Structure formats: structure tokens, C-alpha cells
Amino acid sequence: MKLRNLKKVKSIPQICTKCLLLIVLLWGCEDFVEVDLPNNQLTGGLVFQNLSTVDAALANIYAELREESPLKGNIDGMSYLLGHYADELDLYNPNLLNVGHFYENNVLATDTNVGNWWTDSYTLLYAVNRIIEGVMASDSLLDADRDRFLGEAYFLRALFHFYLYQLYGKVPFVDSSDYARNSNIQRDEIPYVHQRVVEDLERAKELLSIETGDRLRPNYWVAVALLARAHLYQGEWELAETEAVDLIAHGGYPLAMDVGEVFLGDSPETLWQLGPISQGINTREAFTFVFETAPPPNSALSPMLVADFEENDARFSAWVGSVNDGGDTWYYPYKYKETAPTAQTVEYSILLRMGEVYLIAAEASIRLDKLSEGLYYLNALRSRAGLAPLAGGNKNSLLAAVEHERRVELFSEQGHRFFDLKRTGRATEVLGPLKGNWEQTDVILPIPESELLLNPDLGPQNDGY
């Protein structure tokens, strides 16, 4: 049983209040402030009668997704923290205490990031639900605009809930902005939350266009990609295969055959990326991961991950940087390279890309005993990396090959490695020898202690905390 301290964070009711104001006032990316409950005039439907104000409200959600959500690219985001929680990153700076909690497997229910990921996600969910409710009630939007807004909102609602139940296990599925209804909300079982996520993504597919655009907003194919992932994570192999293969065959998103182009803003394989805070600003991921002095000021890639790259893998030379002090060498994620502003933004934070879709198709096919099909998708990525294709193998060996390819293809991206170890039941086998006092219950995070104090109906606490 892990010890607890008590530190108050925002509650679900507090989030509701702030998000309603966020929608109406269309705030930028500044920190929210505590406010009283808004009255009906303030939260009325006028904002949803106008195309530009609804679009601005959605744009603000994407900005908050980049700046204040588990998917943000700084040291408080999933890519960094779950990289330490798994076996991707080693920590060198003892002063990064919150990172140390993840690295040393000492995450408590009072952890700041555990609380912030929960709070930020539900903050954005309230904003999304307000958009859904307001757009559905609007009598002035054109049908095409209404469909796009609702499609994006359903996609976002699915996205936030997907990560919530991956991180915390049972969580409330929030589909209303009603303050009273949500003040004593309870957690839902994972199969229920998953089904609601699937339903929202199916709605999004019906409403969104297949047009590519600038890839800064989700379209039909982005919803397909997340749906394929959601099915894969739940072991729904046939459904995962159907979505992934459809996207590969008909989406019009080819793999970037030069691995050096995969993380550029104009990469052909990017499905969805987040726009910069302003033109010329690049990703937070580059600033977070890249370092130029030895020893590492904060973190570096684990030697185990570095050793997992095969000789002559082009991904290693293109996506891994190094620093040497004359004796020792340390490595860092170098997928995003621009640590300073440029004349024009050249790198955007990518949330969904075709490399993952090929791996979904490969794994789902192999689990369905379609070994040749799975091998085809697997070898497409190996070929892109300059590696010899795999000639074949049995089901178990090919699944191991998929795990290996996911490790070297998706490292330092949104916690893929941790979620893979968790969903395949290999977390304890792999992380147990590396982490002190590792227990199987550590595959999910604790419910924030302050949330349980403010709303006991969210209990009981997850096992192990």
C-alpha cells in the first residue's frame, strides 16, 4: 500500500464552472481562474448561433489540448512522464521530483500530475459537451457546419475518455455539462466507457469530411485511426483490422518513405497534428527531450531502448540524438529537432500518424492468424527504416516482432510503450525487475485524492493506492 499526502486540486464541479465561461468568453491559453457559477444569460446559446464563435470555441479546445492536457509535450505530459514510468527514459535530475515519482514507481494519489491530467481532461470534456449541446440546439448554423462541429466534438469527447480509462481504469463517462448532474458523478466500468468511446467515434465518422486539409483538425480518417487503436487496445482484433486496413487502402495517407520527413509539418503520413501557439513556434517536445550537454541535464533514453535498435535502422540515425563527454555517450529522442523559433513553423506535435496504423493492421492481422497479411504491414515499416524484411515466423514470433517494431517506431510518443506493456499483460514481466516495489496494480494510476474527498461517489480508490 502506497503512502498518501493530502494536496487539494480542482474538483469536477469546479471544472464545470470554468469550462462554461471558457466557451462563452473564448479565452486563450492562460490559466483558468476560480469563478462563481455563471447565470443562464452568461451560458446561453448565443455563442452557438454564429459560425465564427463556435469555430473559435473549438480552436480554443485544441489550444488547451496542446498546452494543458495529458498530451502536452513538456515534462508534465504523458510522452515524458510515461516514458519514465515504463522503460524508455532514465532520469538524471533528482530535483525533478514529480518525474521521479513516475521513474521510481512511487506515484501517489496526491501526485500533482495525476491530479492535473484528471482535471485538465474533464475541464476539456465539459467544454466539448457544451459545444455539442449548443450546436445541437442552434437554429442558425448551416447543416454542413453543424455536422463538422459535432463531428469534431464527438471525436474529442472520445479522445479524452480513451486516455482517461487507459490511465485511471474506471472513470466517469461525462456526456453533459449540467452542473447538478455531474456534482456527485460515479465511475463507470471500462467496457461501458469503451463502448461509449466507440459510439462517439462512429458518430464522428458519419459527420466528418474525408478531406485532408491542413491536418490541424480531425477528419473522417482521423476518427478511423483512433477507432482502430481503441479496438486494438480492447482486443477486438477484427474491428481493429477493418478500420486500419480501410485507412491504409483508401485514406490517401502514404508512409513518408524518408524517415527524416516523418515529423515535419508537411509529412504525408501525418493524420492529425496540433497547430503552434503562433507562427514560427515549434514543438514543446523538442525543447523537452533534446539536450546538448553531458551528462544529461534531465533525462536520456534508456540503454535498453537504445540497444533494441537493429544495426542500420534508419530510425536510429534520424530519430535519436547523442551527446558525448569524451568518454560516455547519452542518447535522446530527436524526432522533433527545432528547439527554437524558426521563420515559419516546421514541426507540429503529431498525435496520430500512419506508422501506428500499419502496426495496428499488422498486429490485428497476426492475432487473427492472417500471418502473411500481418507480415506485409510489418515489413512496410521495416523497409521504410532500411531494414531487411522478415521472411516469416509463427504467430508468437511475429507478435514479438510487432512489439519490437512498436518500441522503436513509437518511442517517446504519448506513452505508447507503457500502454502496450499494460494491454498485452507484460508490464509486470518487463517493469517488475526495473522498478522498486512494482505490483500489477500499478498499470493504472490512482484516482486523485482530492477528487475522492470532494466527491466520495468516485470511490473506492484503485487497488494498490
DSSP 102-164: HHTT---TT-HHHHHHHHHHHHHHHHHHHHHHHHHH-SSS-HHHHHHHHHHHHHHHHHHHHHH
Residues 405 and 455 placed together within one structural domain of the fold: no
Rounded Cα gap, residues 218 and 237, in angstroms: 24
Q: Residue 128's closest CA among 195, 162, 177, 163?
A: 177
Give phi and psi for 239, each to the nearest 5. -65, -40
Could you tell me if 316 and 463 lie in one domain? no
- C-alpha cell at position 103: 521513474
Shared domain for 152 and 17, answered yes or no, is yes
Closest CA to 201 of 231, 174, 232, 172: 231
pTM tops 0.95, yes or no: no
> What backbone phi and psi angles, to 5 degrees, belong to 335?
-65, -45
C-alpha cell at position 205: 465518422
221 assigned to some structural domain: no
- Are residues 311 and 183 located together in one domain of the fold? no
Whether 396 and 450 map to the same domain: the answer is no
Assigned domain for 78 exists: yes
Report yes or no on 232 lying in a domain.
Answer: no
Same domain, 268 and 192: no
Q: Which residue range(s) make up the domain with 299?
A: 253-423
For residues 331 and 280, is the Cβ–Cβ distance under 8 A?
Answer: no
Domain assignment present for 405:
yes
CATH number at residue 70: 1.25.40.390
Q: Counting Cβ atoms within 10 Å, is residue 226 exposed (0-12), middle (13-18) or buried (19+)?
A: buried
Asked if 405 and 360 count as a contact pair (C-beta separation under 8 A), the reply is no
pLDDT of residue 45: 66
- State the angle between helix axes of 354-367 and 395-409 in degrees (0 to 180), rounded to the nearest 10: 170
Q: Kind of pairing, strands 329-333 and 320-324? A: antiparallel
Q: Are residues 414 and 455 in the same domain?
A: no
Q: Based on the domain organization, do 183 and 326 belong to the same domain?
A: no
- Rounded to 5 degrees, φ, ψ at 349 are -70, 115
In a domain, 223, yes or no: no
Does residue 33 lie within any of the structural domains? yes
Q: Which helix (H) or strand (E) holds 344?
A: none
179, 302: one domain: no
Check whether residue 173 and residue 40 sit in a common domain: yes
End-to-end Cα separation, the chain, in angstroms: 6
Predicted pLDDT at 5: 35
Residues 201 and 295 in one domain: no
- Looking at the 3D structure of the chain, how many domains does it have? 2
Q: Is the distance from CB of 312 to CB of 320 less than 8 angstroms?
A: no
- Please check whether residues 361 and 310 belong to one and the same domain: yes
In a domain, residue 217? The reply is no
> What is the chain's pLDDT, residue by residue, as a tens digit (465 residues)?
443 333 333 344 344 444 444 444 333 333 322 223 333 332 446 778 889 999 999 999 999 999 999 999 999 999 999 999 999 999 999 999 999 999 999 999 999 999 999 999 999 999 999 999 999 999 999 999 999 999 999 999 999 999 999 999 999 999 999 877 888 899 999 999 999 999 999 999 999 999 888 899 999 999 999 999 999 999 999 999 999 999 999 999 999 999 999 999 999 999 999 999 999 999 999 999 999 999 999 999 999 999 999 999 999 999 999 999 999 999 999 999 999 999 999 999 999 999 999 999 999 999 999 999 999 999 999 999 999 999 999 999 999 999 999 999 999 999 999 999 999 999 999 999 999 899 999 999 999 999 999 999 999 999 999
371-384 vs 395-409: helix crossing angle, rounded to 10: 30
Kindly report the number of other CB atoms within 10 A of residue 6's CB atom: 9
Domain contains 245:
no
Cβ contacts of 153 within 8 Å, gap of 6 or more: 58, 128, 131, 132, 135
